[in-house]
């Protein structure tokens, strides 16, 4: 039996999404920049997809720009948002995705910005009072904070951060890669300037995403070339991916309540089974369902000599998951997120992440195998 519990890394593609993509591949093969009939037909695929995404997010199609994924979207927002608006101070946290953290530290090393880190607690919650202090004690800032942490699932109060940023005229970039398609994002009512998405996190294809850019913000391209994406991203569009992204988001919004309830039940069930069978485990991140992404459960198991082999042992038992321990030294490459929240470096941690395709039987199988792998069980 093979069990897939690494949906936070990527999700299986939906069959309906595949059907849409195959149809475009087979029948609509023109270059969308060509002015002839074949090109115009494919251009309509791109623009209909843009309108579909924009409608679901309650924004204008002119605010949606397709990218190669979340990393490009984050880089575009950060690099162009900072450079083109003359910003010299940025704020983030030490538990952001590397697409954000590494980009900002690169800009800091080049002397482009001064970088500040907002405090987070042991569950990964942002200290909103500290955020406000950083904003009021510095020049105009660029704030980059993710909606849900990709390793521990702790949620950000996006509305609260947006209101704080507005108070101090700061630009707000939110990486919603883990939450797009899992929560309603009404961007017309949120005070956010940039939002990033990657389709493969919501049962869409890899290699495609989008960046939402609020119409009040003006930026120049990160990638130059042709006039694609209204002169905002050079390069022939990934039309099949764009069509797949739009379909995946459409399905996600249509089935959101049903799937959220189902997946939350799976997460709760696995948590209960782990507590019942193991006497020394800890859950990393927020445990309150209202404050935690329902697709992610991060677990620290007891210390043991076999800790480093946890993921390997899961894999050879047919279970795909991800994780790792906190860094115990500057030279030890571990999870910067677990290190950032002060987790023990001696406890092996595993991130189990679920989707609408996960089953209760797979959870039972995983728990039974863990009882064989983890040295100390009740």
* Token representation of residue 220: 């120049």
**Could you give the CA distance from residue 209 to residue 199 in angstroms, rounded to a whole number?**
5
Residue whose structure tokens are 């690494």: 6
CA 239 to chain centre: 22
Q: Is 327 a catalytic residue?
A: yes
**Could you give the CA distance from residue 338 to residue 352 in angstroms, rounded to a whole number?**
15
Cβ-based burial of 211 (10 A; exposed 0-12, middle 13-18, buried ≥19): buried
- Taking alpha carbons only, the member of 212, 214, 206 closest to residue 245 is 206
Which of helix, strand or coil describes residue 186?
coil
- Buried b / exposed e across 77-93, counting CB within 10 Å, b at 16+? bbbbbbeeeebebbbbb
The two beta strands, 171-175 and 141-144, are parallel
Q: Which of 80, 174, 197, 327 is catalytic?
A: 327
Residues involved in catalysis: 327
């Amino acid at each position: 039996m093979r069990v897939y519990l690494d949906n936070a890394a990527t999700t299986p593609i939906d069959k309906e999404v595949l059907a849409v993509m195959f149809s475009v591949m087979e029948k609509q093969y023109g270059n969308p920049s060509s002015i002839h009939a074949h090109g115009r037909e494919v251009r309509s695929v791109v623009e209909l997809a843009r309108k579909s995404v924009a409608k679901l997010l309650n924004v204008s199609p002119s605010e949606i720009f397709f990218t190669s994924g979340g990393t490009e979207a984050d880089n575009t927002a950060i690099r162009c948002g900072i450079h083109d608006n003359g910003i010299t101070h940025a704020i983030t946290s030490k538990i952001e995705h590397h697409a954000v953290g590494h980009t900002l530290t690169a800009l800091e090393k080049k002397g482009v910005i001064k970088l500040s880190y907002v405090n987070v607690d042991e569950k990964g919650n942002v200290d909103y009072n500290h955020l406000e202090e950083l904003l009021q004690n510095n020049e105009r800032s660029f704030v980059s904070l993710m909606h849900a942490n990709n390793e521990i699932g702790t949620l950000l109060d996006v509305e609260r951060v947006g209101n704080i940023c507005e108070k101090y005229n700061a630009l707000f970039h939110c990486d919603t890669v883990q939450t797009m398609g899992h929560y309603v994002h009404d961007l017309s009512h949120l005070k956010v300037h940039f939002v990033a998405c990657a389709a493969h996190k919501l049962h869409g294809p890899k290699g495609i995403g989008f960046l939402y850019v609020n119409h009040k913000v003006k930026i120049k391209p990160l990638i130059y070339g042709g006039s694609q994406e209204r002169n905002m991203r050079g390069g022939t569009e990934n039309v099949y991916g764009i069509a797949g992204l739009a379909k995946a988001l459409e399905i996600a919004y249509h089935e959101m309540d049903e799937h959220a309830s189902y997946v939350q039940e799976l997460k709760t069930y696995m948590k209960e089974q782990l507590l019942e069978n193991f006497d020394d485990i800890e859950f990393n991140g927020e445990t309150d369902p209202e404050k935690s992404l329902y697709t992610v459960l991060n677990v620290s198991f007891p210390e043991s000599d076999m800790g480093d082999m946890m993921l390997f042992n899961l894999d050879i038992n047919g279970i795909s998951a991800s994780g790792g321990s906190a860094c115990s030294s500057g030279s030890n490459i571990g999870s910067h997120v677990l290190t950032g929240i002060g987790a023990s470096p001696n406890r092996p941690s595993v991130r189990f992440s679920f989707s609408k395709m996960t089953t209760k039987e797979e959870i039972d199988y995983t728990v039974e195998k863990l009882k064989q792998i983890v040295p100390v069980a009740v």
